[in-house]
Amino acid sequence: MKEQATLSRKTILLMAVVTGVIVANLNFIQPIENLIAADFDLSKAVVGMLAMVTQLGYAFGLLLIVPLGDIFNRYHLIQFMMGLSILSLLLAFWSPNAGVFAVATALVGITSVAPQIIIPYAGYLAPSLQRGKVLGIVLSGLLSGILLSRSFSGLLGSVMPWKNIYLVAAAIDLVFLAIVHYQLPHDARGHQNLRYWPVIRMLPKLFTTQKALRGAAINGFCLFGMSNVLWSTLAFYLAAQYHLGSNVAGLLGLLGVAGVIAAPMIGTLVDQRSPRLTVGLGMVFSGVAFGIFWLVGHWLLGLIVGIVLLDLGTQFSQVSCQAIVQSLNRQESSRNNSVFMFSYFLGGSIGTLAATWAWSHAGWNGVCGVAVVFLVLAVLSHFVIGEPEKLATD
């Protein structure tokens, strides 16, 4: 097919890098929560809510904006959303008080949805027998952005005013907007003869009528929720347990490089074996990680091993579930992705809120208890709804 011929390795790598650069916007706040709390004179619980607002904004952007990828030319839509994201980052940099920053961080979440337009675009262009591998590469870029954003934010927050992080991010995004304009393939479909509200109203039906989509959405909700349970409270735990600052919280994010390296191999495993198997492995890794956090998280080595396992578990889940979702219907790929990713980041925002509340009331034991609730829900979904043994083919 013509579309598939345009998906060169260079194009795949470009998509991977751009998704990582843009998704990084969502995670700058996590390692610098203590700095924000001190600057705006806020409690840790309130700063945790600001982090939740970013992810909740992203979830609603996924629900209301990503389906536009099935209506409009994705080449233009991706660039438009990148432009709005840059403006939101500049507002966060300028914020004179906590109220304006709360609005800015919500807008950062809402507008940073271009990666979730790029991902179904990559799935649409990829040959069916290589879709898992292609999505694994693109998602490794996404995970790299999440990991490096924490390190980027934590390290810069230790050497400059934390607001400058958002200014630097806006400048980087502007450079990549220019690269995307000249290098991203044009969308051969053009604009589709679809209306916005009928497309939005169709989303609940997609969820209720597609068992595979339901299973992927619930698994993503639970395992990304578990990931955010850790990352939304890690800066607090490091400060309380080890008297360490935002720079160390950022550096620990680099431990997830194992998940980045594993992503293409996970995609190949999904293609050649079974997404049900790889989803199950994701739950095992994530569950073992929180067992380690609870039992030996007071030792730095235990914390390090747990972070590696948790990021592997998150990546197994996301690559597997994305491959399932993008194998369902190429003409509805953006809408299916919207349903999946809305559930994914809704789980992340709830995990953030629940974990910060638990930290305030029950400390580290409460945080680990929240993760157990997410894990139990994931296991129930795995056995009641399940995942397909094989991906659907075109």
Per the CB < 8 A criterion, the answer to whether 300 and 180 are in contact is no
- State the pLDDT at residue 383: 93
DSSP per-residue codes, 6-39: T--HHHHHHHHHHHHHHHGGGTTTGGGHHHHHHH
- Judged against a pLDDT cut of 70, whether residue 394 lies above it is answered with no
**Would you say 22 and 82 are in contact if contact means Cβ atoms under 8 Å apart?**
yes
For the segment 234-255, what is each residue's pLDDT rounded down to a tens digit?
A: 878 888 888 776 667 667 767 7
Q: Domains (ranges, CATH) in the chain? A: 7-184+198-384 (1.20.1250.20)
pLDDT band for position 4 (cuts 50, 70, 90):
very low
Q: At CA 349, angle to CA 343 and CA 110, rounded to 5?
A: 80
Q: What is the pTM of this model?
A: 0.75
Q: What is the pLDDT of residues 60-85, one digit of tens each?
A: 888 889 888 888 888 899 999 999 99
| DSSP letters for 296-321 | HTTSHHHHHHHHHHHHHHHHHHHHHH
CA–CA dist 342, 350 (Å, integer):
12
Would you say residue 329 has pLDDT above 80? Answer: no
HSE of 113, CA atoms in CB hemisphere, 13 A: 32
**Which residue would you say has higher pLDDT here, 44 or 339?**
339
Measuring CA to CA, which residue among 297, 232, 233 is closest to residue 56? 232
Q: Is the dihedral of CA 220, 222, 223, 228 positive or negative?
A: positive
Query: Residues of 45-67 as b/e, b for ≥16 C-beta within 10 angstroms?
Result: ebbbbbbbbbbbbbbbbbbbbbb
Quote the pLDDT of residue 129.
67
Q: Cα separation of 372 and 286, whole Å? A: 10
Angle between helical axes of 164-183 and 131-157 (0-180°, round to 10)? 150
- Per-residue confidence (pLDDT) for residue 3, from 0 to 100: 41
pLDDT digits (tens, 9 = 90+) for 165-220: 999 999 999 999 999 998 888 777 766 767 888 888 888 999 999 999 999 999 99
Distance CA 391, CA 185 (A): 26
Contacts of 170 (CB under 8 A, 6+ apart): 86, 89, 90, 93
